[in-house]
Amino acid sequence: MQITSRTRLRKYLNEKNYQRPANLSSDLSIGSRVSGWKPGSLFKGTFSQKLCTLKDILYDGEIYVELHSHGILLTGHGRSYSIHNSQVIDIDTISSTEIEKQRKSVIGEAAVGAFIGGPVGAVLGGLSGLFGSDDVWVDKEYVAITFWDVVTDAPQCIMVSREEGYTVDEFIELQKELTEHPVTEVEIKKEKTPVFPIIIAFCLYVAVVVFAFVFVA
């Protein structure tokens, strides 16, 4: 019987024996959305329960993954799930083409996941079992987020496939940047303040003052 991707991933995380992050925040609120503040702060993807170690956190289908000042928010079909930056253990990418290539080079299930570092390798066998069906076998890039869940008090992993037109390299870099150098709500609002309308308003103000001084006085 085909072992599910979730089972493989759960087994892998247990074998890695990840420890609770030393810097795990007591406040897991993720703050304000930074989309539009910097490029790459949001991407659209597809979520599948088969590629998530936690049950029933989101519905299968299209979701948006967006960065906030202190974490990551996944939303879709009326549900949302947040991950604070201090919970993140690892975040990485791998394409389905790479997975299939690695799968073909494996002899026996015992070797599955042995040649790709990080949690992505754990789902090679499970994903390869899905490849070949019409609705799954397309060239995709997956983002794997491994994090410490405070409810189960254990490491968990979510894999989301990226939709075309969205970049994830900048997303990962920005997430790491925000983890190392958290921004405040004030800084985000300051970055979001549009400069062009302010310049136009100032020019109009100067024009009105000059007009009043020249023609009215």
Beta bridge partners of 73: 66, 82
Residue 25: its pLDDT value, please? 94
Q: Which amino acid is at 80?
A: S
Alpha helices in the chain (DSSP H): 5-16, 96-104, 124-130, 169-180, 185-192, 195-211
- φ, ψ of residue 43 to 5 degrees: the values are -145, 155
pLDDT in tens, 11-22: 777 777 888 999
Determine contact, residues 72/94, Cβ cutoff 8 Å: no
Among the ranges 81-85, 121-125, 153-157, 160-164, which has the highest mean pLDDT value?
A: 81-85
33-67: per-residue pLDDT in tens? 986 667 789 999 999 888 888 989 999 999 999 99
